[in-house]
């Protein structure tokens, strides 16, 4: 698959008015999103790193390149792409950008939109559009890169992506902190970590997740400290002042990302960091079989993966009490990442129904052939 | 290459200064009139643009909006320290006003004031009546009136509100050198006590004070208003008087006067006979705070009071003297110095500006009073008669308990307390 | 009935605008509009027809709605410190947002602030500094530029090397679209699904509407800051050291480059920072973060500098010394006013590994054309700012200068770079857009703009050359003239008068 082949496929679809389902490694299909398509356009074979200048810390890859391959190439120069979306490393860079998927590292290194320097896409009329560039700072023209990020393939088929890399930290260690004591005590430990540390990642894990990871029977905080040795040592000292951390293998992060695997429902709830910290202890203590809860306090995001052990079960919206988050001043945003197919239309209204989004969709995909319906109508 | 629309004018001479402006806009936030009037025509960058346009001929010297915006400039020169390309804004403003004077009349009040200040035989009686007036309750009663008359009366009333202090004797050995003081018109007329205090504190700190008879108004008000002719006339007389005094330093307790006297060299740069003499005198001029700070100054008796300090523009921006007045106040035991928010912003006095552009002046004064209120200070120290009267009047009219005072008076009171 | 004349129409619009904002805040006399005919790049001048300065959110909405009703084009303007001619209005209306200068709310715990668009960048920073927070984007014009203008240009600054540009620090905005409709972009309380309209709006150079309020992210102040000055006798050495530091993986908070001519201009100015006058280049390097880690990195950086040929590496002892080193850098652009009456400044970005060869190329171009190029730039991101000081009154010199700058820009484009890293395209760089983007990209940009502003009335004639827009051919515009002409890159400046 090449850009030309994508163009040809899009042209053909325009001529025959055949909507396309756009896939990388097809990982997201499990999200159950309601795409009305008769044909699949897979970019899986369009893979490979096309340009990598280690001294510039920039890398360009075809959309079908897996995250694992990018990490492998970068590792040769002691560099990495600090992008760790939930799911497996076999997911493609194109899909990661298209779905704006992010993981525990994002509170420090940024969301996909922050690591993206430029991209190439084919719009719904078959035009090849280049956005952004290959340099780390660029304000030339309107920002189409950001527009395409998280657009779930509805505005264009991403064919190539340029991202910024970082040097691998000299030290990268992970610690587990059990959350014990009263809810108030737990909240104060969480807040102290929020204020005192600058970790690579900080995740709070509910009991079900902890058990699945074999880390015990209590909610825990998972802390990833990275940088030069002096930074890690200083942070570890600061952490030890707050609580008693125990070191574990960094592989736990990969396991955590893949844990929710076949869960039919994943919801992301976001709010102000302090609000999340205030309610975190209560939410994490809530032990619901088949429901995995993780919280990133710095990003103010909670992930709830439901229905893991009882396959085929429908999401029960009352499994976690969201009232704490929804009530009072300041509101909450809820994003449905994954749902059983039949629930989409019921729980998630269209997220692109506003006039501006509709206008953009119409301009970039006038025949509505790119992933129609995936974000609602 | 287009020609110059106003050849041979002071503005045309100032072109290199105008050309130094790269239009970066760093001056905007330093400018009190821009912050209050919110129009770039009332900013340094805007006014320089108008000056340039005058030379280009895109606006004429009779254009009413040019006059309005140039008139509205306080001349506080707060834009100068923040200008990376070193535009000599104060000089450009004077050149512009001088050029426009040939085409546009200045306001009757301004003309009257400048006329009086240039003539000692008129100035002395005027100040005499002002002083008598200030000593009666009339100004205080009238200060509540609306409009300019009320404000002018409040200014007068404020001059009668200094600090009480005992008399003390001082005899100086004069080891720090011979100093002639500028009496100054307003200082001499309305702040005589401060002038006497100035002499005393100089002597306490080892300076020998000598007289410089023949001195007159410094010419600052005239130069700011573009009346360069009279400003130069006055400057020449002062240069001669201070040369005769044989003093090593010329002490000035009015920041506005000190600023122009330090720049006599520029004022008379085209006068071959006087240029070098002007430069020589200018280099001997010191603000009173500079001389005192150089001497320590000596620590006095305790004055347990809460004081805040407002930096006069012509001390801070024009003379770039910032630390010396604080050093002076630090020599007073028990005095609690509370920082004033935005103390580097103009109070709106600006020479005679508060009498001829009252609305803008009030707009600039308002936030200043609010900031003073927030300090809960009972005294506002500032070393310039215009600022003393502007702030003093504002405090009276706003019915605030605080009073404005010259830092010299505070130091003098401290020395008096020491003597007891 | 005859058509009302242009001046009658102008008078009636002025009167209606004055009803909204008050007479004092509408300018229509040509002599008062002069100062609004340029921004921070006075080489371009365009005279607006009217300038209006709303004083509140409601007034701003009312103004934009009136202009929508009358189908009048307009240009939003902040403090006019931009360096691309982006805020110029060619015989159309300027809407100045500088009076909207309130900090609306501050949430210390959640580290965010909501401000009006006219709030000056440095004022926001002064406001939050006592709380141990900072607003990271710090363009060199921070003392004057507004947050609204920063949004329009997606402004950067020296510290965006580590902290990112405006885009990375804005959560949400309320925007009045050119149609008068008010929309929320982004989310103040969390993360939102759907198209990133917030991301699309940031950097849209005033073409998508007017921001009414902006919720920004605040960053905790770093525990420790260390500022180093490394001086070199060779530009090439300094360039190689820059690449070596980046390649080492250390991410400095800032990595700034000044060449010999710049050093000497700065040292002549009131911001003399103590840079060695005989150096051919200095690097100003800042490291921040946790003290122990910073000190470890500092040793690595110092070693790279010394091994790479630095004569001397000086570390600022305290905040005063640090501030002084930075003043020199931040005011360098203004200080160039001392060299010659006119200045061209560019903003190209190149891959960082190409720095040594591009600086050599720039040197060769400047020799060839006999011009003096001052290079002062964000070396860490490869964001070059070649400045040429000259006299526009000398036609022959102007020609050489413009020719040299065009060659420099083309060399940067050929190196795989971009034409602007932080100043925006505006009028100045529009002529280069076709050299870095294919027609399809430019058309896609036009289409995006048309969604936000179908009548293309907001800042017409900027960013994307109008002939690149397929759909705009044949569309009737409110003002053909303002959008129709694309100036050639680096159009010659109008000359200034000289004393006689």
Closest listed residue to residue A57, CA positions, set C162, C353, C414, C165: C353
In a domain, A348, yes or no: no
> What integer pLDDT is reported at residue C35 of this predicted model?
93
| Whether residues A176 and A164 fall in one domain | no
* Residue that terminates a domain, selected from C48, C80, C96: C96
Per the CB < 8 A criterion, the answer to whether A26 and A334 are in contact is: no
| Whether residues A146 and A183 fall in one domain | no
> What integer pLDDT is reported at residue B234 of this predicted model?
94
| pLDDT tens for each residue of C236-281 | 999 999 999 998 989 999 999 999 999 998 898 877 889 999 999 9
| Whether residues C42 and C151 fall in one domain | no
Residues B414 and A165: their CA atoms lie apart, in Å, by: 66
In a domain, A365, yes or no: no
| Whether residues C382 and C498 fall in one domain | yes
Is residue A376 packed enough to be buried (19+ CB in 10 Å), middle (13-18) or exposed (0-12)? middle
Instruction: Report the CATH number that the domain containing residue A46 is assigned in CATH.
Output: 3.30.465.10
Task: Give the whole-number percent of chain C exceeding pLDDT 70.
Answer: 93
Per the CB < 8 A criterion, the answer to whether A231 and C292 are in contact is: yes
In a domain, B281, yes or no: no
| Whether residues A134 and A213 fall in one domain | no
Per the CB < 8 A criterion, the answer to whether C11 and C24 are in contact is: no
In a domain, C469, yes or no: no
CB contact under 8 A, C197 and A357: yes
Range of the domain at C392: 339-438+476-500
| Whether residues C89 and C146 fall in one domain | no
Instruction: Report the CATH number that the domain containing residue B82 is assigned in CATH.
Output: 1.10.1060.10
| Whether residues C165 and C283 fall in one domain | no
Range of the domain at B58: 10-101
Cβ-based contacts of A135 with chain C (< 8 Å): 349-351, 381-382, 416-418, 421
> What integer pLDDT is reported at residue B360 of this predicted model?
84
B20 touches chain C (CB under 8 A): yes
Start-to-end C-alpha separation, chain B? 73
| Whether residues A151 and A19 fall in one domain | yes
In a domain, A17, yes or no: yes
Phi and psi angles of residue B273, each rounded to the nearest 5 degrees, phi first: -75, -35
> What integer pLDDT is reported at residue C328 of this predicted model?
87
What lies within 8 Å, CB to CB, of A4 at 6+ separation is: none
Which residue reads 């010191």 in tokens? B286
| Whether residues A175 and A194 fall in one domain | yes
**How many Å lie between the alpha carbon of A120 and the closest alpha carbon of chain C?**
9
Distances (CA, A) of A142 to A150, B103, B261, C203, C431: 17, 50, 56, 7, 15
Per the CB < 8 A criterion, the answer to whether A344 and A315 are in contact is: no
| Whether residues C235 and C325 fall in one domain | yes
- Contacts of residues B131-137 at CB distance under 8 Å and 24 or more positions apart, as own/partner, are B131/B189, B131/B190, B131/B192, B134/B159, B134/B160, B134/B190, B135/B160
315-344 of A, contacting C, C-beta below 8 A: 330-333, 335-336
Which residue reads 């500006």 in tokens? B353
Residues A143 and B93: their CA atoms lie apart, in Å, by: 45
Mind giving me the DSSP string for A116-159?
Answer: EEEEEEEETTS-EEEEE-SSS----SS-HHHHHTTSTTSSEEEE
* Residue that terminates a domain, selected from A168, A191, A212: A168
| Whether residues A207 and A161 fall in one domain | no
| Whether residues C352 and C496 fall in one domain | yes
Identify from B4, B14, B24, B322 which residue to disrupt to test chain C contact, counting C C-beta atoms within 10 A and taking the largest count. B24
Residues C105 and A45: their CA atoms lie apart, in Å, by: 50
| pLDDT tens for each residue of C426-460 | 999 999 999 999 999 999 999 999 999 999 999 99
CB contact under 8 A, C495 and B2: yes
**Averaged pLDDT for residues C466-482:** 57
CA trace torsion C3, C8, C11, C16 (10° rounding): -30
CB contact under 8 A, C195 and A357: yes
ipTM > 0.85 (yes/no): yes
User: What residues pair up with C377 in beta bridges, in sequence order?
Assistant: C257
What lies within 8 Å, CB to CB, of C188 at 6+ separation is: C112, C114, C171, C172, C215
Residues B253 and B261: their CA atoms lie apart, in Å, by: 12
Per the CB < 8 A criterion, the answer to whether A19 and A39 are in contact is: yes
Identify from A142, A301, A360 which residue to disrupt to test chain C contact, counting C C-beta atoms within 10 A and taking the largest count. A142
In a domain, C361, yes or no: yes
pLDDT reading at C474 higher than 80: no
Q: Do chains A and C touch (3 or more CB pairs under 8 A)?
A: yes
| Whether residues A186 and A325 fall in one domain | yes
| Whether residues A225 and A203 fall in one domain | yes
CB contact under 8 A, C199 and A227: no
In a domain, A87, yes or no: yes
> Taking all residues of chain A, what is their mean pLDDT, rounded to a whole number?
90
Number of domains comprising chain C: 4
35-74 of B, contacting C, C-beta below 8 A: 38-41, 43, 45-46, 49-50, 52-53, 55-59, 63, 65-66, 69
Cβ-based contacts of C437 with chain A (< 8 Å): 130, 140-141
**How many Å lie between the alpha carbon of C455 and the closest alpha carbon of chain B?**
29
CB contact under 8 A, A273 and C349: no
Cβ-based contacts of C199 with chain A (< 8 Å): 113, 143, 146-147, 149
Does residue C386 sit in helix, strand or coil? strand
Residues C426 and C346: their CA atoms lie apart, in Å, by: 12
**Averaged pLDDT for residues A339-368:** 87
| Whether residues A198 and A81 fall in one domain | no
User: What residues pair up with C217 in beta bridges, in sequence order?
Assistant: C112
| pLDDT tens for each residue of A123-144 | 999 999 999 999 999 999 999 9
CB contact under 8 A, C292 and A135: no
In a domain, B83, yes or no: yes
Residues A238 and B234: their CA atoms lie apart, in Å, by: 70
In a domain, B322, yes or no: yes
| Whether residues C365 and C497 fall in one domain | yes
**How many Å lie between the alpha carbon of A196 and the closest alpha carbon of chain C?**
10
Q: Nearest by CB to B15, which of C31, C335, C499?
A: C499
* Residue that terminates a domain, selected from C285, C309, C335: C335
Q: Do chains C and B touch (3 or more CB pairs under 8 A)?
A: yes
Range of the domain at A82: 3-168
Number of domains comprising chain B: 2
- Bridge-based pairing of strands C50-52 and C26-27 is antiparallel
In a domain, A368, yes or no: no
**How many Å lie between the alpha carbon of B85 and the closest alpha carbon of chain C?**
4
Q: Nearest by CB to C450, which of A139, A354, A363?
A: A363
Query: Confidence band (pLDDT; 50, 70, 90) for C4?
Result: low
- Report chain B (420 residues): mean pLDDT per 10 consecutive residues: 79 92 92 94 96 93 91 92 90 93 74 74 72 71 70 78 83 90 85 92 94 91 88 94 95 95 94 94 96 93 95 93 94 94 87 79 90 95 93 90 94 85
In a domain, B92, yes or no: yes
In a domain, A362, yes or no: no
The overall longest dimension of chain C from CA atoms, in Å, is 81
* Residue that terminates a domain, selected from B82, B101, B120: B101
Cβ-based contacts of A144 with chain C (< 8 Å): 200, 441, 444-445, 448
Query: Confidence band (pLDDT; 50, 70, 90) for A348?
Result: low
Does residue A227 sit in helix, strand or coil? strand
Does residue C163 sit in helix, strand or coil? helix
A226, closest residue in chain C (CA to CA): C293
Cis peptide before B297 (omega within 30 of 0): yes
> What integer pLDDT is reported at residue C480 of this predicted model?
43
Residues constituting chain A:
377
Of residues B38 and C2, which shows the higher confidence score?
A: B38
Identify from A131, A326, A356, A359 which residue to disrupt to test chain C contact, counting C C-beta atoms within 10 A and taking the largest count. A356
Instruction: Report the CATH number that the domain containing residue A256 is assigned in CATH.
Output: 3.40.462
> What integer pLDDT is reported at residue A309 of this predicted model?
53
C200, closest residue in chain A (CA to CA): A143
Per the CB < 8 A criterion, the answer to whether C122 and C326 are in contact is: no
| pLDDT tens for each residue of C328-368 | 888 888 788 778 878 888 999 999 999 999 999 999 999 99
Residues C139 and C155: their CA atoms lie apart, in Å, by: 6
In a domain, C427, yes or no: yes
Instruction: Report the CATH number that the domain containing residue C89 is assigned in CATH.
Output: 3.30.43.10
Cβ-based contacts of C296 with chain A (< 8 Å): 228-231
What lies within 8 Å, CB to CB, of C476 at 6+ separation is: none
- Which of A267-276, A342-351, B226-235, C40-49 has the weakest average pLDDT? A342-351
In a domain, C169, yes or no: yes
Angle between helices A355-364 and C439-452 (to 10 degrees): 160
pLDDT reading at C62 higher than 50: yes
In a domain, B176, yes or no: no
Which residue reads 């080891």 in tokens? B175
| Whether residues C211 and C115 fall in one domain | yes
**For the sheet containing C112-115, what is the strand order?**
C103-107, C112-115, C210-217, C170-176, C182-186
Residues B159 and B391: their CA atoms lie apart, in Å, by: 11
Of residues C102 and B185, which shows the higher confidence score?
A: C102
Residues B341 and B322: their CA atoms lie apart, in Å, by: 15
Per the CB < 8 A criterion, the answer to whether B54 and B380 are in contact is: no
Residues A37 and A17: their CA atoms lie apart, in Å, by: 10
In a domain, C130, yes or no: yes
Per the CB < 8 A criterion, the answer to whether C74 and C116 are in contact is: no
| Whether residues C170 and C254 fall in one domain | no
| Whether residues C167 and C156 fall in one domain | yes
Residues C496 and B51: their CA atoms lie apart, in Å, by: 12
**How many Å lie between the alpha carbon of C500 and the closest alpha carbon of chain A?**
43
In a domain, B138, yes or no: no
CB contact under 8 A, B38 and C80: no
Q: What is the DSSP letter of A60?
A: E
Number of domains comprising chain A: 2
Cβ-based contacts of C421 with chain A (< 8 Å): 135, 137-139
| pLDDT tens for each residue of A179-202 | 999 988 999 999 999 999 999 999
In a domain, A367, yes or no: no
| pLDDT tens for each residue of A198-257 | 999 999 999 999 999 999 999 999 999 999 999 999 999 999 999 999 999 999 999 999
Cβ-based contacts of B77 with chain C (< 8 Å): none
In a domain, B373, yes or no: yes
Residues A273 and A268: their CA atoms lie apart, in Å, by: 14
Cβ-based contacts of C144 with chain B (< 8 Å): 24-29
Which structure tokens are listed for B177?
């050198």
| Whether residues C376 and C406 fall in one domain | yes
In a domain, B377, yes or no: yes
Neighbours of chain A (3+ CB pairs under 8 A): C
In a domain, A191, yes or no: yes
Residues A45 and A63: their CA atoms lie apart, in Å, by: 9
Cβ-based contacts of B85 with chain C (< 8 Å): 269, 334-338
> What integer pLDDT is reported at residue B152 of this predicted model?
79
A129 touches chain C (CB under 8 A): yes
Distance of CA B18 to the CA centre of its chain: 24
A273 touches chain C (CB under 8 A): yes
* Residue that terminates a domain, selected from C335, C355, C382: C335
C156, closest residue in chain A (CA to CA): A137
CA trace torsion B236, B237, B240, B243 (10° rounding): -100
Residues B391 and B371: their CA atoms lie apart, in Å, by: 12
* Residue that terminates a domain, selected from B66, B101, B136: B101
Q: Nearest by CB to C349, which of A137, A269, A299?
A: A137
**How many Å lie between the alpha carbon of B104 and the closest alpha carbon of chain C?**
16
Q: Do chains A and B touch (3 or more CB pairs under 8 A)?
A: no
Does residue A221 sit in helix, strand or coil? strand
Identify from C154, C170, C191, C450 which residue to disrupt to test chain A contact, counting A C-beta atoms within 10 A and taking the largest count. C191
In a domain, C401, yes or no: yes
| Whether residues A181 and A142 fall in one domain | no
- What number of C-beta contacts closer than 8 Å exist between B and C? 134
In a domain, C468, yes or no: no
CB contact under 8 A, C123 and B55: no
| Whether residues A155 and A176 fall in one domain | no
What lies within 8 Å, CB to CB, of B294 at 6+ separation is: B176
What lies within 8 Å, CB to CB, of A214 at 6+ separation is: none
A269 touches chain C (CB under 8 A): yes
Does residue B379 sit in helix, strand or coil? strand
> What integer pLDDT is reported at residue B162 of this predicted model?
79
| Whether residues C358 and C480 fall in one domain | yes
Per the CB < 8 A criterion, the answer to whether C167 and A310 are in contact is: no
Instruction: Report the CATH number that the domain containing residue C372 is assigned in CATH.
Output: 3.30.70.2740
Q: Where are the alpha helices (DSSP H) in A144-228?
A: 144-148, 183-196, 207-213
| Whether residues A211 and A130 fall in one domain | no
């Amino acid at each position: 698959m090449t850009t030309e082949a994508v163009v040809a496929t899009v042209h053909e679809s325009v001529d025959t008015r055949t909507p396309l389902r756009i896939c990388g490694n097809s990982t997201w299909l499990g999200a159950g999103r309601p795409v009305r398509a008769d044909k699949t356009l897979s970019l899986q074979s369009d893979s490979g790193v096309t340009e990598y200048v280690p001294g510039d810390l920039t890398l360009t890859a075809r959309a079908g390149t897996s995250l694992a391959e990018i990490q492998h190439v970068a590792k040769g120069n002691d560099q990495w792409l600090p992008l760790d979306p939930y799911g497996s490393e076999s997911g493609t860079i194109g899909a990661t950008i298209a779905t704006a998927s992010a993981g525990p590292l994002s509170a420090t290194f940024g969301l996909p939109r922050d690591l993206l320097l430029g991209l190439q896409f084919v719009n719904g009329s078959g035009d090849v559009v280049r956005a952004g560039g290959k340099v780390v700072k660029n304000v030339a023209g309107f920002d189409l890169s950001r527009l395409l990020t998280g657009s779930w393939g509805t505005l264009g088929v991403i064919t190539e992506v340029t991202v910024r890399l970082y040097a691998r930290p000299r030290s990268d260690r992970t610690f587990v902190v059990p959350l014990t004591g009263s809810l108030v005590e737990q909240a104060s430990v969480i807040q102290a970590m929020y204020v005192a540390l600058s970790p690579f990642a900080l995740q709070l894990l509910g009991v079900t997740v902890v058990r699945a990871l074999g880390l015990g029977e209590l909610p825990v905080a998972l802390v990833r400290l990275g940088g030069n040795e002096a930074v890690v040592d200083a942070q570890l000292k600061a952490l030890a002042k707050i609580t008693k951390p125990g070191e574990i293998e960094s592989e736990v992060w990969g396991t955590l990302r893949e844990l929710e695997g076949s869960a039919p429902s994943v919801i992301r709830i976001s709010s102000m960091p302090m609000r999340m910290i205030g309610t975190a202890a209560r939410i994490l203590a809530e032990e619901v079989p088949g429901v995995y809860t993780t919280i990133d306090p710095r990003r103010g995001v909670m992930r709830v993966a439901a229905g893991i052990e009882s396959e085929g079960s429908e999401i029960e919206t009352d499994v976690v009490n969201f009232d704490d988050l929804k009530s009072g001043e300041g509101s909450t945003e809820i994003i449905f990442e994954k749902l059983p197919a039949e629930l989409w239309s019921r729980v998630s209204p269209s997220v692109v129904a506003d006039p501006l989004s509709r206008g953009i969709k119409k301009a970039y995909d006038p025949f509505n052939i790119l992933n129609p319906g995936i974000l609602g109508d | 290459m287009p020609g110059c629309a106003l050849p041979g004018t002071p503005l045309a001479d100032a072109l290199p200064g105008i050309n130094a402006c790269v239009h970066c806009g760093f001056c905007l936030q330093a400018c009190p009139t821009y912050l209050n009037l919110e129009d770039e025509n009332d900013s340094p960058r805007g006014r320089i643009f108008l000056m340039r346009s005058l030379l280009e001929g895109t606006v004429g010297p009779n254009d009413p909006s040019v006059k309005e915006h140039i008139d509205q400039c306080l001349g506080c020169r707060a834009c100068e320290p923040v200008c990376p390309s070193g535009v000599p804004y104060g000089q450009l403003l004077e050149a512009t006003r001088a050029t426009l004077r040939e085409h546009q009349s200045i306001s009757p009040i301004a003309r009257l004031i400048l006329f009086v200040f240039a003539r000692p035989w008129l100035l002395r009686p005027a100040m005499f009546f002002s002083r008598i007036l200030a000593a009666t309750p009339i100004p205080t009663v009238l200060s509540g009136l609306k409009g300019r008359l009320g404000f002018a009366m409040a200014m007068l009333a404020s001059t009668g509100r200094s600090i009480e202090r005992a008399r003390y004797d001082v005899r100086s050995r004069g080891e720090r050198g011979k100093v002639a003081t500028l009496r100054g018109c307003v200082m001499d007329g309305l702040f005589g006590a401060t002038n006497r205090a100035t002499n005393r504190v100089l002597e306490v700190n080892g300076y020998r004070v000598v007289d410089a008879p023949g001195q007159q108004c410094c010419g600052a008000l005239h130069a700011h208003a573009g009346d360069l002719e009279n400003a130069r006339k006055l400057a020449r007389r002062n240069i001669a008087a201070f040369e005769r005094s044989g003093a090593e330093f010329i002490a000035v307790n009015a920041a506005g006067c000190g600023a122009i006297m330090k720049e006599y060299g520029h004022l008379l740069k085209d006068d071959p006979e006087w240029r070098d003499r002007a430069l020589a005198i200018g280099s001997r001029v010191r603000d009173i705070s500079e001389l005192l700070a150089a001497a320590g100054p000596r620590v006095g008796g305790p004055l347990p009071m809460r004081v805040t300090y407002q930096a006069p523009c012509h001390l801070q921006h024009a003379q770039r003297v910032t630390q010396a007045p604080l050093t002076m106040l630090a020599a007073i035991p028990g005095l609690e110095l509370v920082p004033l928010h935005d103390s580097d912003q103009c109070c709106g006095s600006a020479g005679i500006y508060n009498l001829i552009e009252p609305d803008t002046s009030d707009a600039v004064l308002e936030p200043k009073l609010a900031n003073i209120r927030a300090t809960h200070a009972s005294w506002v120290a500032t070393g310039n008669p215009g600022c003393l009267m502007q702030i003093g009047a504002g405090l009276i009219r706003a019915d605030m308990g605080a009073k404005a005072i010259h830092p010299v008076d505070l130091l003098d009171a401290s020395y008096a307390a020491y003597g007891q | 009935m005859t058509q009302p004349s242009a001046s009658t129409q102008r008078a009636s619009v002025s009167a209606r605008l004055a009803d909204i904002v008050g007479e004092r805040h509408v300018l229509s006399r040509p002599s008062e509009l002069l100062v609004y005919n340029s921004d921070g790049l006075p080489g371009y001048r365009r005279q607006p027809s009217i300038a209006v300065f709303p004083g509140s959110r409601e007034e701003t909405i009312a103004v934009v709605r009136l202009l929508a009703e009358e189908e009048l084009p307009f240009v939003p303007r902040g403090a006019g410190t931009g360096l691309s001619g982006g805020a110029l209005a060619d015989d159309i209306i300027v809407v100045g947002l500088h009076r909207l200068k309130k900090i609306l709310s501050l949430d210390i715990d959640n580290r965010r602030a909501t401000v009006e668009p006219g709030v000056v960048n440095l004022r926001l920073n002064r406001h939050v500094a006592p709380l141990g927070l900072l607003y990271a984007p710090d363009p060199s014009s921070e003392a004057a530029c507004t947050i609204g203008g920063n949004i329009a240009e997606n402004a950067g600054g020296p510290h965006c090397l580590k902290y990112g540009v405006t885009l990375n620090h804005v959560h949400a905005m309320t925007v009045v679209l050119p149609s008068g409709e008010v929309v929320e972009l982004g989310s103040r309380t969390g993360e939102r699904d759907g198209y990133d309209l917030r991301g699309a709006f940031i950097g849209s150079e005033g073409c998508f509407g007017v921001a009414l309020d902006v919720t920004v992210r605040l960053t905790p102040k770093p525990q420790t800051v260390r500022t180093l000055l490394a001086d070199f006798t060779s530009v090439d050495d300094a360039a190689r050291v820059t690449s070596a530091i980046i390649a080492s993986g250390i991410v400095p908070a800032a990595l700034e480059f000044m060449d010999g001519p710049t050093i000497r201009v700065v040292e002549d100015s009131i911001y003399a920072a103590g840079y060695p006058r005989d150096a051919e280049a200095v690097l100003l390097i800042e490291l921040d973060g946790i003290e122990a880690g910073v000190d470890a990195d500092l040793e690595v950086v110092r070693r790279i500098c010394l091994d790479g040929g630095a004569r001397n590496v000086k570390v600022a002892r305290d905040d005063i010394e640090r501030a002084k080193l930075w003043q020199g850098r931040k005011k360098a652009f203004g200080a160039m006013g001392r060299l010659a009456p006119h200045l061209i400044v560019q903003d190209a970005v190149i891959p960082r590994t190409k720095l040594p060869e591009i600086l050599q190329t720039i040197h060769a171009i400047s020799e060839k054309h006999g011009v003096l190029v001052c290079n002062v730039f964000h070396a860490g991101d490869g964001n070059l700012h070649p400045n040429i000081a000259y006299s526009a009154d000398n036609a022959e010199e102007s020609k050489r200068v413009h020719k040299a700058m065009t060659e420099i820009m083309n060399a940067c484009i050929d190196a795989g770079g971009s034409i602007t890293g932080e100043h925006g395209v505006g009028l100045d760089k529009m002529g280069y857009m076709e050299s870095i983007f294919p027609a399809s990209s430019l058309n896609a940009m036009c289409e995006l703009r048309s969604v936000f502003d179908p009548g293309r009335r907001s800042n017409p004639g900027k960013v994307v050359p109008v002939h690149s827009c397929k759909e705009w051919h044949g569309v009737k515009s409110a003002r053909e003239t303002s959008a129709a002409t694309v100036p050639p890159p680096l159009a010659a400046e109008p000359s200034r008068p000289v004393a006689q």
